[in-house]
């Protein structure tokens, strides 16, 4: 499939010559960053905000086009059927204006309606305005999405200057449809996440995912019940919000877990490091996943991980070295893995140390050259930036 670089209009930077061209080569690159921002503090929203900060610190000019801005007027959000139009029209106008001021669009993309309403319009408007668009796709449901929607998605992908993904898992999924994608990993800020002291008398278990069906928090709760039967002092913190909270609270009551389980609700990103530092183990029971930020944050915090082996997770962690991997929907297997860590503190320490070492591969100094190379090829000029 054509990738779109060769047939789009020549970038502005290569149209100029002489003194004007040299001046343009020294001008900071301007990036139109298209994506969500907190709240809520989801993985993509946090990555968008973090990337904007890092690009600015590197000397680039960043203009954010936020895809999840509040509805205006606010009451439109309650009117199904027309609210998408009220969001789409001003969003398209912001994209159009931004494209006139930047050198490249960086589009944070996901599947489903998020693709059609936000990512695709950004790519097409960039195309109309002669601005290269880098599609930064993320999301563990890509395979199912392309199976259903490839005929609608392929024309947009063909007009992107580049497609980047955070994991080899998504790269392989795109390759099945003859779409070339490059790996630019997610970024972890090691200045925020670091190992802390833990209470040796306690057993604090953490789940850090939204309360949605694809993350299967119920399996983690059932696993915790089995753990607590042998370790009555164990406590479970479920950090996240979502539509399944009432059902999960009912499950906790049914299993007589009482005050041993704490639902925090939505947690600001700034508060997450403390949760990881105080946890003895992170449980990730997800059914669909790509490259969970929560696993990176746990690794950077020295927190041992027990996770399902779905999607891109085996591309991020290695069973027995940086995490313990189990099959999905298997609470007894998940509980057994946690009990293994309790019974073998040396194993827990090895996982913690290896996770810390692996997390260093996802820092900004490691990722920045890859991203800047993608930008440079898209716009036809070097992107140097400055050291933070």
Q: If you average pLDDT over residues 97-103, what whole number do you get?
A: 98
Q: If you average pLDDT over residues 356-362, what whole number do you get?
A: 96
Residue 4's pLDDT is 40
Confidence of residue 6 (pLDDT cuts 50, 70, 90): very low
Q: What is the CA radius of gyration of the chain?
A: 22
Residue 349's pLDDT is 96
- Max avg pLDDT among 26-40, 72-86, 333-347: 333-347
Residue 348's pLDDT is 96
Residue 223's pLDDT is 98
pLDDT digits (tens, 9 = 90+) for 280-325: 999 999 999 989 999 999 999 999 999 999 999 999 999 999 999 9
Residue 8's pLDDT is 38
User: Which residues neighbour 339 within 8 Å (Cβ) at sequence distance 6 or greater?
Assistant: 227, 230
Q: If you average pLDDT over residues 361-370, what whole number do you get?
A: 96
Residue 7's pLDDT is 39
Confidence of residue 82 (pLDDT cuts 50, 70, 90): low
Which residue(s) pair with 235 in the sheet? 204
Q: What 3-state DSSP class applies to 369?
A: helix
Confidence of residue 246 (pLDDT cuts 50, 70, 90): very high
Q: If you average pLDDT over residues 45-69, what whole number do you get?
A: 95
Residue 87's pLDDT is 74
Domain boundaries, the chain: 12-187+363-379, 203-361
Distance CA 334, CA 224 (A): 9
Residue 199's pLDDT is 74
Q: If you average pLDDT over residues 174-202, what whole number do you get?
A: 90
- Max avg pLDDT among 69-78, 137-146, 190-199: 137-146
Residue 332's pLDDT is 98
CATH architecture classification, 12-187+363-379: 3-Layer(aba) Sandwich (3.40)
The pLDDT > 70 percentage for the chain reads 88
Higher pLDDT, 1 or 138: 138
Residue 88's pLDDT is 84
Confidence of residue 16 (pLDDT cuts 50, 70, 90): very low
Residue 268's pLDDT is 85
C-beta separation of 88 from 95 below 8 A: no
Distance CA 321, CA 338 (A): 15
Q: Do domains 12-187+363-379 and 203-361 have the same CATH topology?
A: yes
User: Alpha helices of the chain — where are they, by DSSP H?
Assistant: 12-15, 18-26, 43-57, 83-99, 113-114, 120-128, 142-158, 168-176, 217-230, 245-254, 272-278, 293-300, 313-316, 331-343, 345-359, 364-379
Residue 11's pLDDT is 44
User: Which residues neighbour 112 within 8 Å (Cβ) at sequence distance 6 or greater?
Assistant: 141, 145
Sign of the dihedral through C-alpha 141, 143, 149, 155: positive
Confidence of residue 84 (pLDDT cuts 50, 70, 90): low
Per the confidence metrics, is the pTM higher than 0.85? Answer: yes
Confidence of residue 370 (pLDDT cuts 50, 70, 90): very high
What is the length of the chain?
Answer: 388
Instruction: Say yes or no to pLDDT of 38 above 90.
Output: no
CATH 3.40.50.150 fits 203-361, yes or no: no
Q: What 3-state DSSP class applies to 81?
A: coil
């Amino acid at each position: 499939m054509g990738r779109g670089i060769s047939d789009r209009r020549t970038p502005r930077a290569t149209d100029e010559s002489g003194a004007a061209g040299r001046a343009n080569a020294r001008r900071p690159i301007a990036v139109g960053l298209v994506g969500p921002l907190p709240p809520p503090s989801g993985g993509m929203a946090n990555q968008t905000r973090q990337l904007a900060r890092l690009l600015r610190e590197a000397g680039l000019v960043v203009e954010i086009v936020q895809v999840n801005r509040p509805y205006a007027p606010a009451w439109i959000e309650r009117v199904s059927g027309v609210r998408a139009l009220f969001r789409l029209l001003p969003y398209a106008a912001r994209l159009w204006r931004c494209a006139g001021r930047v050198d490249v669009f960086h589009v944070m993309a996901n599947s489903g309606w998020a693709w059609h309403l936000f990512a695709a319009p950004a790519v097409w408007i960039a195309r109309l305005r002669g601005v290269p668009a880098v599609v930064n796709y993320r999301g563990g449901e890509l395979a199912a999405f392309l199976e259903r929607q490839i005929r609608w998605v392929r024309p947009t992908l063909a007009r992107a200057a580049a497609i980047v993904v955070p994991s080899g898992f998504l790269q392989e999924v795109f390759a099945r449809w003859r779409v070339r994608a490059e790996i630019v990993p997610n970024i972890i800020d090691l200045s925020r996440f670091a190992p802390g002291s833990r209470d040796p008398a306690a057993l604090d278990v953490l789940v850090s995912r939204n309360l949605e069906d694809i993350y299967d928090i119920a399996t983690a709760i059932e696993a915790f019940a089995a753990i607590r039967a042998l370790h009555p002092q164990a406590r479970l913190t479920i950090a996240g919000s979502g539509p399944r909270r009432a059902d999960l609270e009912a499950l906790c009551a049914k299993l007589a877990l009482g005050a041993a389980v704490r639902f925090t609700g939505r947690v600001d990103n700034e508060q997450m490091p403390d949760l990881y530092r105080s946890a003895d183990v992170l449980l990730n029971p997800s059914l669909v996943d790509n490259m969970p930020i929560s696993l990176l944050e746990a690794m950077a915090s020295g927190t041992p991980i027990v996770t399902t082996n779905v999607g891109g997770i085996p591309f991020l962690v290695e069973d027995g070295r940086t995490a313990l991997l189990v099959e999905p929907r298997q609470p007894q297997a998940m509980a057994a893995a946690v009990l293994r860590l309790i019974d073998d503190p040396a194993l827990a320490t090895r996982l913690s140390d290896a996770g810390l070492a692996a997390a260093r591969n996802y820092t900004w100094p490691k990722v920045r050259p890859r991203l800047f190379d993608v930008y440079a090829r898209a716009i036809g000029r070097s992107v140097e930036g400055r050291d933070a």
